[in-house]
Chains A and B, each alone.
Chain A
């Protein structure tokens, strides 16, 4: 039972991270490979703000702000110009890898290759036990924030003006434009939102395991993409469910097989899901080729 909680905990962070992928994919049918950099930069910005003596909410705001800047950069300089040129799906993908390398090099220059941490004993060390399962305050806060944000986002897409616009653009860009929807603004907002979510996921990961390092984004990148595919491309709740499944698979493979097999088992789960349900768990769309 404790292991299931452990899996759900890490899985909720993967899920939130995967939501960022799925948003961009849902709207643009594009895979944004710079998303992992929002994760890393979110954590770095949060850590720096916290180290300057700011309270935790300010650190979160710094992470969100950094994520949004990366999102706006992505839209203005990478995906936007390429789409206006009648982009094939591939050039956006490759260009986002380019931006990711640039952001990674900047991080190396200003942050360095060393692992940094929040000061020891920085957070309340409270824990409580329910039915033999132990939770810590940080764990509950992290999982609660991740799941809460995904639910909020699902509601936003369903019930707000932005959400309706987003769904229209996702359905058919030209039709949306004819209907008077500002496609460019929707796209920009989606990139900013997606990257901000990635940055929050990075910040939560940093808090959960008290670790910030250069390649932290690269370490969760494939897991995020796998979570998106398992949940169903373009489905926000699906990405969360995919993340939770991957978190569980990781924990169970450590306990029942060996920690060496952790990543292998994760992708074996992806393989099985693709065999049984190629469109992913929650997607109504037929399987799409990436």
Chain B
């Protein structure tokens, strides 16, 4: 049984009340013509928007708990973005950042808090599971949300005020499977996935579909739950079927140990992973065992564009380390909000929303992309592979 779920269960009793109250209040707001954010109309002078007050951007990430590996990186991306925005002059920005402790009920409460603080938009949350709980009431309160790492299907569909800059796995997974098949001549695969995590479960379904499309046979399909630490039973079953590759749909906290345990058992075939497996945490946990892992990705440090190079330099200067994909995704989300506020020259959430919806061929650290009519990102997927402890573009 999973630890975070259990403690979430305990707290859920208390928080269900809070969440329900939040949902009711927000639903009430949604029916009136009010917007959640206070609106201020600024003045445009010399082509640059000027606003009297500082614009507050909210962010909710899982900075503690099992998702902390992603959330910590996201928080760094958000803080860096605000710092860079304020260097440029013009509109002043500030960041209100919250920790959802990797738990959905807390996430709902943190989103509600930011809505009450009248932020112009919220960046986050870290996991799709939390997004499905926290976004509907926020959308009903007419506060913009830019999703940064939720790759499960159905996020942008939540409502008009929900946007997403993370490339969904519907694009990433088929791309990764195609590259892996060509590279290693894969005919049959064994799949292991986290059935208690929304994004991993969705990743599993997309893998199954991609195998069907590519004519790859699925010889073993085994599940575990978030918080499990022993995967030997599942891996033994998979090993018996002699697959050409092991496919893992999981977050890093479980996915890393799955790789180490598979290698320890003598399973030496190539590895393919979903978005959760695209994290430096995998390399930290599994070490050299992770070499060869193929994943679809929304971003790579080897992406050679002026926006990405500028971001990489700023990140290196600020933190003295190289970022993973989560920091540039957050940076990009913050950029979309800034761009929308600047062109609307207003903090009115609906005006900002309309500007967000218009973004097209937007240049950001993660590349050039547009929002489609439901607010989802339109972009091609990169396929990466771990070589000598680093994610590099797979050839």
Contacts and interface: CB of A to CB of B under 8 A. Distances in A.
Given A115-B253, A120-B285, A219-B227, A255 B3 contact: no
B287 A6 contact: no
A145 interface: no
Interface string B206-233: 0000000000000000111101111011
Given A134-B266, A260-B225, A10 B230 contact: yes
Nearest to A133: B236
Interface in B62-80: 64-66, 68
Nearest to A121: B287
Given A120-B287, A129-B266, A255 B257 contact: no
A155 interface: no
Given A113-B65, A209-B257, A259-B223, A6 B285 contact: no
A69 interface: no
Most buried by B among A2, A9, A250: A2
Contact of A117 (B1, B66, B264, B285): B285
A121 B232 CA distance: 18
B343 interface: no
Nearest to A117: B285
A263 B237 contact: no
Contacts of B265: 127, 134, 136
Contact of A219 (B1, B195, B232, B239): B1
Given A113-B64, A114-B65, A121-B287, A6 B264 contact: no
A9 B264 CA distance: 15
A289 interface: no
Interface residues of B, number: 37
B284 A120 contact: yes
B66 A259 contact: no
Given A127-B264, A263-B1, A255 B236 contact: yes
A251 interface: yes
A62 B286 CA distance: 26
Contacts of A170: none
A263 B224 CA distance: 12
Nearest to A222: B1
Nearest to A250: B233
Nearest to B192: A259
Contacts of A120: 260, 284-289
> In this complex, which of A3, A113, A250, A263 has the most chain B Cβ atoms within 10 angstroms of its Cβ?
A113
Number of contact residues on A: which range applies? 35 or more
Interface string A1-30: 011001101100000000000000000000
B237 A255 contact: yes
Interface in A113-132: 113-115, 117, 120-121, 125, 127, 129
Interface stretch (A88-96, A210-218, A235-243, A269-277): A210-218
A255 B266 contact: no
A213 B264 contact: no
A258 interface: yes
B264 A136 contact: yes
A112 interface: yes
A176 interface: no
Contact of A9 (B232, B260, B287): B232
B253 A125 contact: no
B9 to A, nearest CB: 12
A209 B229 contact: yes
Contacts of B286: 120
Nearest to A211: B229
A13 to B, nearest CB: 10
Given A3-B236, A259-B195, A259-B234, A213 B3 contact: yes
B149 interface: no
B257 A210 contact: yes
B63 to A, nearest CB: 10
A112 B64 contact: yes
B101 interface: yes
A259 B224 contact: yes
Nearest to B263: A125
Given A219-B3, A260-B195, A254 B233 contact: yes
A260 to B, nearest CB: 7
Interface string A74-109: 000000000000000000000000000000000000
A98 to B, nearest CB: 17
Contacts of B223: 258-260
Given A134-B266, A255-B233, A258-B223, A215 B3 contact: yes
Nearest to B7: A215
B53 to A, nearest CB: 36
7 contacts: A2-B236, A3-B233, A6-B230, A117-B285, A218-B6, A254-B222, A260-B225
Task: Identify the 6 closest CB pairs spanning chains A and B, nearest first.
Answer: A120-B287, A209-B229, A215-B3, A254-B233, A6-B232, A251-B233
